[in-house]
Amino acid sequence: MRLNALFFTLCLLVLGSSAFAQTQQSSYGFLSLSGRDEKNNAVITWETIQELTITDFNIQQSTDGHRFETIGTISANYDTLAIRHQYRFVDAQAAADGKLVYYRLQININNGRTLYSKILMVRFDEELEEKLSFYPNTVSTSLPLALATRYEGGARLQIVDAYGRIQQSEALQVTPGNTFRSIDVSRLPRGQYFAVVLGDGLRLQQRFFRQ
């Protein structure tokens, strides 16, 4: 594996306390994960919140989606003044490993536990099928949103009830590729809803249930 061809950058965002209130349902402070093709490089980004229990992240790659190998490690940032932390990892010339490359994060916790993120698929030289999905689609507190798109730019996520009324709305910054994000829906009454992602020429919709 090309360890000497890999590099990463780390960014910090300091936000108000309201950001924590909206996302406190996320386990171990993990908020979102995305991956995309950028000039034959695989760009992996993720975001955490209040990550005091996390020691580091191992970035793992696979060409078959089953056997993963660690290709880099990033230490967690312990800046207690920062509510959110954003990370970025670039697997240089990843397209050389195939047209479809898989990635995941191994999240190491300070109590000795190890967690794994969802698996990302980064496609090279292929048209990405645009899709909005959830698994599971019946939730109680947190909606595991999965977005696949070639769209880039500002968008808006709306939660709409069965009568077409907007119950929840928030801004999204969308990048091409696959993105996973946890959406807090704990304040919604029980019932059927639709999640709608809207952008300039982009509209993706999917149904879910709040139990």
**What distance in Å separates the CA atoms of residue 36 and residue 199, rounded to the nearest whole number?**
18
pTM assigned to the model? 0.59
* Domains, in order of start, for the chain: 30-123 (2.60.40.10), 131-210 (2.60.40.2550)
Q: Any residues with CB less than 8 A from the CB of 67 and at least 6 apart, and which?
A: none
For 20, the 3-state DSSP assignment is: helix
Residue 127, pLDDT score: 65
Q: Read off the pLDDT of each residue in 141-145 and give the average, rounded to a whole number.
A: 92
Residue 175, pLDDT score: 82
**What distance in Å separates the CA atoms of residue 78 and residue 105, rounded to the nearest whole number?**
19
Residue 18, pLDDT score: 26
